[in-house]
Amino acid sequence: MIALGGNSLSDKSGTGSIAEQFSKTRKAIEYLSEFIERKCNICINHGNGPQVGNELLRMDLTYKEVTPLPLGLCVANTQGSIGYMIQQSLQNKLRKMHIDREVVTLVSQVIVDKNDASFDNPNKYIGSRYSKKDILKLSEKFDWKIKKQESNKWRRIVPSPMPRYIMHGKSIKALVDRGSIVIASGGGGIPVYSNKNGNLEGVDAVIDKDYSAAKLGRIIKANQLWIITDIDSVYLNYEKKNQTRIKNMDLEQATNLYENGTFQEGSMGPKIKAAMHFLKHKGDKVIITSISKIKEALKGEAGTEIRN
């Protein structure tokens, strides 16, 4: 199970154009092909924070001319568009490798709790990064909720409920088991809930893709979860003078560090929490690394490995 960070597909410092995203996606596939070379069965989900943020910004700028879409539908749209870019790039790579495997993208719904605490306390970063001065202007104009993510880097935040149930799991597992490469629960999945009549309804939120990947990994009975982010390893005292790489952890160590508040919420914290969930439900190991370090991480020379 591979959780592919949204920034692996969209450059932080770029314009966010489709040409840029396709170029970045093709580069990402070159690194992911290491798993194909090893004949792994693969399921991929991906982030969509930069992309869904851009969708919302477009609507904020054009709402007088075009009726805005709800956030859940923006997730569905980006799930389709990003899935298309990954799928096409993977198909082209497989042709070059002379490998006959199908790539399938599933538009996936994920059930959440309508009363999840995150609806009252939004904490999921989306969209571009801004200086405090610039984002304050946008937040006043468009009524955004905002939060500082890094030094002088501010972003918009939205609700991010926990995934309770990944839909279409049996179909995803059947495809993965037959050797198809499946892209599912993109952007964490389209958040839905069951109303009082038992019918599904969409909800305005974005689900953390790492949590969904951990749950989906359980469903397909994956033995490994790879969390691909923009940092090559997990670090203690990250971005401080005494920063040190964590090469290996067991589940108990990871749990203790997480519960002691070692890892920043909105950054490494959710990734460690997702790793803990995956390992508690019979996963073998979790690797956290960057897209360019996959080959080294497969050899144990990069990344952070967490095992039971």
Give the H/E segment covering residue 9: none
Q: What are phi and psi of 253, to 5 degrees?
A: -65, -45
- Of 86, 22, 23, 80, the closest CA to residue 52 belongs to 80
- Catalytic-labelled residue, pool 7, 16, 179, 221: 7
CA of residue 110 relative to chain centroid, distance: 14
- Catalytic-labelled residue, pool 41, 72, 127, 209: 209
Q: Give the pairing type, strands 124-130 and 153-158.
A: antiparallel
11-18 contact pairs (CB < 8 A, 24+):
12/50, 12/129, 12/230, 16/50, 16/51, 16/54, 16/128
271 catalytically annotated: yes
> How would DSSP label each residue in 173-191?
HHHHHTT-EEE-SGGG-EE
- Catalytic-labelled residue, pool 215, 271, 273, 293: 271
6 catalytically annotated: yes
- Of 93, 78, 87, the closest CA to residue 47 belongs to 78
CA of residue 205 relative to chain centroid, distance: 14
- Catalytic-labelled residue, pool 54, 72, 124, 293: 124
Q: For the chain, how many residues are written?
A: 308
209 catalytically annotated: yes
| Alpha-carbon distances of 237 from 187, 241, 263, rounded to whole Å | 29, 8, 9
SS3 state at 298? helix
Angle of helix 18-37 relative to helix 71-96, nearest 10 degrees, comes to 50
273 catalytically annotated: no
- Catalytic-labelled residue, pool 5, 6, 72, 83: 6
Helical spans, DSSP H, in the chain: 18-37, 49-62, 71-96, 132-142, 169-177, 209-219, 251-259, 268-280, 294-298
Residues known to be catalytic: 6-7, 124, 209, 271
